Every structure is written in C-alpha cells, then in structure tokens.
C-alpha cells in the first residue's frame, strides 16, 4: 500500500534570520521520534496500573501465543519481526483483547509499543465481511496518520480482505457516500466532517475508537473540540482507547473526558535522567577560536567513541563543523534548516556509526537520544532564552543518562568568559555535582 508510506512534509521557508533556530513543533517532534524509533525502546521501569476494572483481566503475557489472536494476525506480528510483547504490551494486550471490551487510557514514552498494541486490537476486532467502517483511529497530523496506516497495512499483510483507509485532507468522499474501509485512520477535522457533515462514517457502528498521541492532540484547541464531538457520537459498546507519551494533568483531564465508563489506566514510568554516571569537566578559554583549539587538543589526545557537540546558534554549528572536518573528523551537522525527514536521516546515519561526531544546536536536537554517545560537549553553555540564565533542564537533558545504559559518560563544558563561567557555576550548584577544571594542554584527567 503506497499511501501508507512516509510522505515528506512540506518545507516551510524560514522566516527567521540565518542565526535563529526555529523551534520544532510538538507535531514535528512526535513525527521525528516515530521516524527514529525503528526499534523498540527497552525499559526497566515497572508498569503501574493506576485504575482497574474488576471485570477485566489483570494478568500479563510473555508471548503473543498466549493472546486470543487469529492465526493470520499472529503470523503478521511475527512477520514484522516481533518475538515477544513489549513491556506495555504484556499488560495492555490481555485487557485490550478481552471480551467484553474494556476502555483504556495508556501512557508510556514514544517507542515502547503503543501503536502496535492498538493496531493489533483494531485488526483483531474487525469483521471484513461487513462493508462499513468499524475501527477509527484519530491522529494529530496527516503524517502521523500515514505512519499509523503503514503499520496497520504491514500487520494486516495476511488479512487480504481487510480494507484500510485514510480520512485526511485530500481524501475525497461524496456527501452521503458511505466509506467501505473497515479501518479508517484520520485527523480530527476530516473525521468530524466524514462523521457529522457527510455521514460517510456511522459512529454508532464503530467497535473500536482510538485516540493516539493525546498529548500532541491537545496542543491544538480545535483538535480537542473535534475529538470530543466525535466521541459523543459513539455507542456505549464501542471500545474507546487513548494513548499518550506524557502524563501531565491537562492530558489526563482530556483523557478522562474522552474515555468514559471506568477505563483501565496504565502507565509506564520513564526512567529518570541522572548525572550519577557522568564525569563533568570544564575548560577555560579566551574566545571561540580558543575553544576550538582546546577541543581539537582533546579530540586529538584521547580516543573518543561517539560524541555530540552542542552550539548556541546555527552559525557556530556550521563554523565548528567546517573546522572539525578540516581537522579530519567525520562530522554530521544537524541544524534547524533541515526538515524532519532530513533530520531523521542524519540521526540514523550517526546511530549507524557513519559519523563519530554530531554537531547540533539545542533546538534541532530535541527528541534524540543516542545510546552510543559517551562524550557530550557543551561548546556553548545552555541558557534560557528570556532570562539568559543557566538552563539546567536542558543541561540534564543533553548529558544526563537513564539508568539503563549504565555506561560511564563524559561531559565537557567550554567556558569563554565570565558569563559562561557563571552559568556553569549555577548548574554545578543546582545539581550539587562538581564540575572539575580541565587543562586542555594536559588532559590526563580524562583517561
Ligand atoms: P509507540 O507507539 O509507543 O511510539 P511503536 O508501537 O511505534 O511505539 O513501537 C516502536 C518500535 O518498536 C516500532 O518500530 C515497532 O515496530 C517496534 N515494536 C513494537 N512492538 C514490538 C515488539 N513486541 N517486539 C519488537 N518490536 C516491536
């Protein structure tokens, strides 16, 4: 199915100056994560069940065979290379597939197997001998809808009679014409039109309703209202499911409004980032050129596996990338003038080890975590845009590790004056972890 393949989003002309990084929207960030997570994100954290339903099964499965799946669907799962359920799937799938159907709200970070879980649920409940839409999935954007569609098409590989369609901008349907796609994936605006204006979907006949990426969805007020209008049309027997990567109060409020009737609520905690396994250093320099010289010494003197270097502006990132390339390093440059697909391609090349150094600005690096990186360099210290004070959260995010890697990391902060020294001191105080002085001409302390 060609339509489910990833379509490159349109590139907006940059209105900002060449130095200004454009912020990535929530939707783009989410798409970037999807494009990057070609593998399951593993986690040691335990699944929490925040709300139970006395009538639904509470056991977890370790194999797909232990689930009530049709043989062709089981084959589809194995054909995709899945050997065993992911952490969230272990607990979610028995509940999702049980009869009578149970409603669910589930939260876990991107890449942990939520999409696969609800796609499996839709495919398991669909009856291809009936010629109308039975499963409906809402996603925040056109590109995200197509991503979900491509997963559904893959998993349905051995179910040739199941029709999968898209209710997104550009898909035409005549007023009053009924959709005969068994599973529809769409964006709230178009789905609202198809349900309420064109009467192409009969919401009363839906057996599974999924709202994916609820946290991204609520960032757009219109989406929230449209989703609720659709939800209100569903029949009581329809299984209603909501998924989110984050768990803020506003997301949960929206979730509770969307998913009635005592849903099961499950949550997989994200492992906390910490500085525990990181050795932190700073190098004092006079100016930007000197920072490059110091960095050059460090890279020349020690063997560094993979590293990421953060710069404050796109201009510095370009400048540094040229200097390091001339120095003989294989450098990848990730900057805000690239679209999401180009960013994903660069990050994937870096992950594959094609380059050892990734130079980036903070804005364009959002959403990446690369397991192989052992050295992080703050070529410029992270500061908050408005106050120009230390940005401790970003610092932690750049160099912090989650417990699961366990590997020792190294952080090097390049200081070029009083201002950046103050920022560094503030960060040191905030985390109560010493950042040691490093003499760039004598880097034995690093080895
Ligand atoms: P989420 O929706 O939480 O972001 P996905 O369902 O997209 O996560 O899964 C992330 C990646 O892991 C995808 O590439 C998907 O194909 C893969 N995946 C999902 N479930 C499994 C599994 N049980 N075993 C192996 N890989 C899986």
Res. 38: pLDDT tops 70: no
Between the CA of 149 and the centroid of ligand 1 the distance, in Å, is: 14
Q: How far is the CA of 41 from the centre of ligand 1 (A)?
A: 8
Q: How far apart are CA 175 and CA 294, in angstroms?
A: 67
Window from 172-186, 200-214, 348-362 with minimum mean pLDDT? 348-362
Start-end of H helices in 206-339: 214-217, 221-232, 249-258, 288-301, 314-326
Q: Whose CA is nearest to atom 23 of ligand 1?
A: 85
- Edge-to-edge strand ranges of the sheet holding 331-334: 331-334, 357-361, 306-311, 373-378, 409-415, 278-284, 436-438
Distances (CA, A) of 337 to 13, 247, 380: 9, 31, 20
Q: Work out the average pLDDT over 42-54.
A: 81
Task: Please report the pLDDT score of residue 385 as a whole number.
Answer: 84
**pLDDT for 407:** 67
Compute the distance from residue 35 Cα to the ligand 1 centre, in Å: 12
Counting from 1 in the atom list of ligand 1, the atom nearest the Cα of 88 is 3
| Of the candidate ranges 16-20, 47-51, 151-155, 242-246, the one whose mean pLDDT is the lowest | 16-20
Bridge partners, 243 (sequence order):
106
CA of 51 to the centre of ligand 1 (A): 24
Residue 236: the pLDDT is 94
Q: Please tell me the predicted confidence (pLDDT) of residue 19.
A: 54
Closest ligand 1 atom number to CA of residue 38: 14
Q: Whose CA is nearest to atom 25 of ligand 1?
A: 82
The ipTM value here is 0.99
Other CB atoms within 10 Å distance of the CB of residue 412 = 26
State the pLDDT confidence band at 232, using cuts at 50, 70 and 90. very high
Choose between 212 and 44: higher pLDDT: 212
Nearest alpha carbon to residue 357 among 311, 405, 424: 311
pTM of the model: 0.79
Write down the residue that tokens 């009635």 correspond to: 260
Query: Per-residue pLDDT for 7 more than 60?
Result: no
Q: Are 416 and 287 in contact (CB under 8 A)?
A: yes
Atom of ligand 1 at shortest range from CA of 33: 4
Alpha-carbon distance 238 to 340, whole Å?
35
User: Which pair of tokens denotes residue 23?
Assistant: 């912020």
Q: What's the CA gap between 260 and 102, in Å, rounded?
A: 10
Contact, 140 vs 169, CB < 8 A? no
Give mean pLDDT, residues 151-176: 96
**Does the pLDDT of residue 393 top 90, yes or no?**
no
pLDDT digits (tens, 9 = 90+) for 97-113: 999 999 999 999 888 99
pLDDT at residue 18 is higher than 60: no
CA of 93 to the centre of ligand 1 (A): 13
Q: Report how far residue 303's alpha carbon sits from residue 192's, in angstroms, rounded to the nearest whole number.
A: 57
In sequence order, the β-bridge partners of residue 361 are 311
User: Looking at residue 407, what DSSP letter applies?
Assistant: -
Residue 9 has pLDDT above 50, yes or no: no
Q: Is the pLDDT of residue 402 over 90?
A: no
Q: What is the mean pLDDT of the chain?
A: 88
Distance 110 CA to ligand 1 centre (A): 9
Pocket of ligand 1 (CB under 6 A): 37-40, 82, 85-86, 89, 110-116
**Local structure of 79: helix, strand or coil:** helix
The whole-number pLDDT of residue 8 equals: 38
Instruction: Report the nearest-CA residue for atom 19 of ligand 1.
Output: 113
- Long-range contacts of 55-64, Cβ-Cβ distance < 8 Å, separation of 24 or more: 55/100, 55/102, 56/95, 56/98, 56/102, 56/264, 57/94, 57/95, 57/98, 58/91, 58/94, 58/95, 59/94, 60/90, 60/91, 60/94, 61/85, 61/90, 61/93, 61/94, 62/90
**Best mutation site among 36, 108, 115 for ligand 1 pocket (most ligand atoms within 8 Å of CB):** 115
Contact 382, 391 (CB under 8 A): yes
Which tens digit of pLDDT belongs to each residue from 376-386? 999 999 999 88
Region 297-326: mean pLDDT is 91
Ligand 1 atom nearest to 117, measured from its CA: 6
Is pLDDT above 50 for 63? yes
Question: HSE (CB half, 13 Å, CA atoms) of 105?
Answer: 22
Which pLDDT does position 2 carry in this prediction?
Answer: 41
CA of 331 to the centre of ligand 1 (A): 30
406 has a pLDDT exceeding 60: no
Q: What is the pLDDT of residue 276?
A: 84
What pLDDT is attached to residue 194? 97
Q: Ligand 1 pocket test: which of 113, 146, 268 has the largest number of ligand atoms within 8 Å of its C-beta?
A: 113
363 pLDDT band, cuts 50/70/90, is confident
Provide φ and ψ at 330, rounded to 5°.
Answer: -85, 105
86 CA closest ligand 1 atom index:
23
Confidence of residue 6 (pLDDT cuts 50, 70, 90): very low
Residue nearest to atom 20 of ligand 1 (CA): 113
* Span from the CA of 52 to the centroid of ligand 1 (angstroms): 25
How close is the Cα of 323 to the center of ligand 1, in Å? 39
């Amino acid at each position: 199915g060609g339509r489910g393949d990833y379509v490159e989003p349109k590139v907006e002309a940059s209105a900002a100056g060449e130095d200004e990084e454009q912020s990535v929207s929530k939707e783009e960030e989410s798409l970037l994560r999807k494009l990057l997570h070609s593998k399951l994100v593993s986690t040691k954290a335990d699944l929490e069940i925040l709300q139970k339903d006395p009538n639904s099964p509470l056991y977890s499965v370790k194999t797909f065979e232990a689930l009530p799946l049709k043989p062709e669907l089981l084959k589809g799962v194995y054909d995709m290379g899945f050997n065993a359920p992911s952490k969230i799937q272990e607990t979610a799938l028995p509940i999702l597939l049980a009869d009578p159907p149970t409603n669910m709200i589930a939260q876990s970070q991107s890449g942990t197997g939520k999409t696969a879980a609800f796609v499996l649920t839709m495919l398991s409940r669909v009856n291809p001998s009936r010629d109308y839409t039975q499963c409906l999935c809402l996603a925040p954007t056109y590109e995200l809808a197509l991503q979900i569609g491509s997963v559904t098409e893959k998993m349905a590989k051995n179910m040739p009679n199941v029709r999968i369609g898209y209710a997104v901008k550009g898909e035409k349907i005549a007023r009053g014409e009924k959709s005969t796609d068994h599973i529809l994936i769409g964006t709230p605006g178009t789905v609202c039109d198809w349900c309420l204006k064109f009467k192409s979907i009969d919401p009363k006949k839906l057996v599974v309703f999924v709202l994916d990426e609820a946290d991204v969805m609520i960032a757009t007020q219109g989406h929230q209202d449209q989703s609720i209008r659709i939800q209100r049309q569903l029949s009581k027997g329809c299984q209603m499911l909501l998924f989110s990567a984050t768990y803020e109060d506003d997301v949960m409020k929206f979730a509770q409004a969307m998913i009635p009737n005592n849903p099961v609520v499950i949550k997989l905690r994200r492992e906390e980032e910490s500085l525990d396994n990181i050795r932190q250093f700073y190098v004092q320099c006079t100016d930007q050129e000197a920072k490059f010289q110091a960095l050059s010494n460090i890279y020349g003197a020690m063997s560094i596996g993979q590293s990421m270097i953060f710069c404050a502006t796109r201009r510095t990132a370009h400048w540094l990338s040229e200097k390091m390339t001339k120095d003989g390093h294989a450098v990848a440059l990730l900057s805000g003038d690239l679209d999401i697909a180009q960013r994903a391609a660069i990050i994937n090349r870096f992950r594959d080890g094609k380059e050892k150094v990734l130079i980036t600005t903070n804005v364009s690096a959002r959403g990446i975590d690369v397991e192989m990186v052992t050295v992080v360099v703050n070529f410029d210290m992270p500061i908050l845009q408005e106050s120009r004070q230390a940005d401790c959260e970003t610092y932690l995010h750049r160099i912090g590790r989650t417990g699961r890697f366990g590997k020792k990391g190294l952080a090097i902060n390049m200081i070029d004056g009083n201002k950046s020294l103050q920022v560094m001191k503030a960060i040191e105080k905030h985390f109560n972890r010493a950042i040691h002085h490093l003499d760039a001409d004598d880097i034995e302390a690093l080895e």
